[in-house]
Structure 1
Amino acid sequence: QVSYVKKNNHFFSRIHVADIAQVLFKSLIYSKPGEIYNVSDNKPCSYDQTISYASSLMGIQTPPPVSFEALNEGEMKNFYKDSKKVSNKKIKKELKVKLYFPTYKEGFKSILNNIFDC
């Protein structure tokens, strides 16, 4: 059975592969030597939000959650110990990036459209 980890106040920044490619390309043109750039979309959110949204797009029931506390020690539990909100202001300002997929919502819609167009 499919399930997902639910942890209150746990956020994660995501990015679509097309936007990663754009950042890499523009960094070749506009980056300053020695600079470090965070790469993420505009909307850090919880895994719960992404699962709920993807399920609604596909017209399926959201899978049942597994609580963070119920996880065994290991890589999965370590991943959920910290939130990972990343700002993308620097790539937008210095690299002149305009995200094709500003949030996970546009990314999920594109992925589903590509799946059903094949």
Structure 2
Amino acid sequence: MRRLVVFGCGYSARRFAELHGAAFDAVDVTARSPETADRLHAEGLSAHVFDGGQATGPLTRAVLKASHILVSAPPDPAGDPTLRGVGSALEQASGLRWIGYLSTIGVYADAGGDWVDESTPPEADSERGRRRIDVERDWLTFGARSGVAVQIFRLAGIYGPGRSAVENLRAGTAKRLVKQGQVFNRIHVDDIAAAVAAGIERPTVGPVINVADDEPAPPQDVVTYAAGLLGLKPPPEIAFETAELSPMARSFYSSNKRVRNRTLREGLGVRLTYPTYREGIAALVR
């Protein structure tokens, strides 16, 4: 029996469950609040409230019967909430074959616009990135100790339906921030789902897989392209140095790198539906 348990049913994990949940005999998901769990229940998912503390009986039983675990919940200052809350049940899950952890390319340090890949040592510039590095190591250690395949999916900037320059332009909130030489990789949420599905079928690949598009590009180019497709005038360019940004938003611009996705393409055999932002934005406009 193939039973999937998803920890942290956010944007990416929810999309994976939508597109690939039928490949499993049962799918359980978690939410941090009863309100979110109720909403997921209403959408037809078996949802459990879990905030990193003591797991409920039904969630523990689901973990004990799981064949696959997908972890999307982010770390907190104390570490990984999933390992902390259900680590003992994972150790006892006799049918467990695979664990996927959704991480971030933010674990790589600033490369001055040069290329990085999975062989590049993770040296995060931020506290958030350092937590991710620690949790990646914890999951890989768990896999080595338990004999369960673990894959780490390092995700680029996520976009897709409801979360893109297209919605921002239509809402009048889009900005064209310009920082000389700055580029970002992106990844469409559907391509994330495809990567995870491919990892389940090829669990020995990796264990680290960069999930990023083929063309790192300046952020202002994406806004300009989307505006052109929508028939809108792009917003004025704003110099990064004078822009009013939150500390978190500003921190994203402190790291400039181009991320290779060779393991995704050649190891997992994933052919991206949206290899650059152009295909992804065009689909969202349509």
Please tell me the TM-score bracket, short chain as reference: 0.7 to 0.9
Q: Decide whether the 8 Å contact of 1:31 with 1:95 is kept in 2.
A: no
Report the counterpart of residue 233 of structure 2 in structure 1. 61
Listed one character per residue, the Cα deviations across residues 27-55 of structure 1 (whole Å, up to 9, x for unaligned) are 01113276100001111101011011111
From 190, 199, 203, the equivalent of 1:31 is 203
Q: How many residues align?
A: 113
Counterparts of 1:56 and 1:33, CA distance in 2: 40
Report the counterpart of residue 78 of structure 1 in structure 2. 251
Give % identity: 31
Displacement after TM superposition at 1:4 (Å) = 2.7
Counterparts of 1:6 and 1:40, CA distance in 2: 22
Q: Which has the larger radius of gyration?
A: 2
Unaligned residue ranges in structure 1 (runs of 5+): 114-118
Counterparts of 1:34 and 1:22, CA distance in 2: 16
Which structure has more strand as a fraction of its residues? 2
Task: Return 26-35 or 79-88, whichever deviates more.
Answer: 26-35
From 265, 270, 278, the equivalent of 1:92 is 265
> Partner amino acid for 2:269?
K
Counterparts of 1:33 and 1:16, CA distance in 2: 21
Counterparts of 2:191 and 2:213, CA distance in 1: 8
Displacement after TM superposition at 1:112 (Å) = 1.0
SS in 1 for 2:177: strand
Q: Which has the higher contact order (CA 8 A, sep 6+)?
A: 1
> Partner amino acid for 1:45?
A
Q: Decide whether the 8 Å contact of 2:199 with 2:205 is kept in 1.
A: no
> Partner amino acid for 2:217?
C
Unaligned residue ranges in structure 2 (runs of 5+): 1-171
> Partner amino acid for 2:276?
T
- After TM superposition, the runs of 4+ consecutive aligned structure 1 residues lying more than 4 A away are none
From 192, 207, 213, the equivalent of 1:20 is 192
Q: With the length of structure 2 as denominator, give the TM-score of the two structures.
A: 0.38
SS in 1 for 2:209: coil
Q: Decide whether the 8 Å contact of 2:182 with 2:253 is kept in 1.
A: yes
Pairing 1:107–2:284 present: no
Superposition CA RMSD, Å: 1.7
